[in-house]
Amino acid sequence: MKNIVCAFIIIAFYSACKQGGNNTTATLPILGNREPVTKTVDGKQVTDTVYSTIPAFKFVNQYADTITGKSLDGKIYVADFFFTTCPSICPVMHRNMLNVYKEFKADDNFKIISHTIDPKYDTVPVLKKYADKLGISGNTWWLLHGTKEETYQIAKNYLVSVQEKNPQGEYIHDGYFILVDKQKRLRGTYDGTDPAQVTKLIADIKTLKTEPDQVAAK
Partner 1 sequence: MKLAFVTGTVLLFIVAVVASCQSDEQVEFNRYYSGGSVLYLAHCQNCHGEKGEGLQSLIPPLTDSVFLKQNRLSLACYLKNGLKGKITIAGREFEGEMPAAADLSPIEVAKVLTYVTNSFGNKQGLINLQQVQADLKECK
Decide: is 110 part of the binding site for partner 1 (CB under 8 A). Answer: no
Decide: is 21 part of the binding site for partner 1 (CB under 8 A). Answer: no
Decide: is 88 part of the binding site for partner 1 (CB under 8 A). Answer: yes
Decide: is 91 part of the binding site for partner 1 (CB under 8 A). Answer: yes
Q: Please name the amino acid found at residue 155.
A: A
Region binding partner 1 by CB under 8 A among candidate stretches 39-47, 82-90, 144-152, 177-185 = 82-90
Tell me the C-alpha distance between 63 and 59, whole Å. 11
Decide: is 133 part of the binding site for partner 1 (CB under 8 A). Answer: yes
Region binding partner 1 by CB under 8 A among candidate stretches 8-16, 20-28, 133-141, 158-166 = 133-141
Tell me the C-alpha distance between 35 and 89, whole Å. 35
Q: What is the dihedral sign for C-alpha 45, 183, 178, 62?
A: negative
Nearest distance in Å: CB 127, partner 1: 13
Return the number of other C-beta atoms located less than 10 Å from residue 68's C-beta: 11
C-alpha separations of 86 from 41, 94, 120, 130 in Å: 53, 11, 14, 12
Decide: is 98 part of the binding site for partner 1 (CB under 8 A). Answer: yes
Q: Which of 116, 100, 114 is nearest to 208 (CA)?
A: 100
Decide: is 138 part of the binding site for partner 1 (CB under 8 A). Answer: no
Decide: is 137 part of the binding site for partner 1 (CB under 8 A). Answer: no
Decide: is 120 part of the binding site for partner 1 (CB under 8 A). Answer: no
Strand partners, 41: 44
Residue numbers at the binding site for partner 1 (CB under 8 A): 85, 87-89, 91-92, 94-95, 98, 130, 132-135, 193
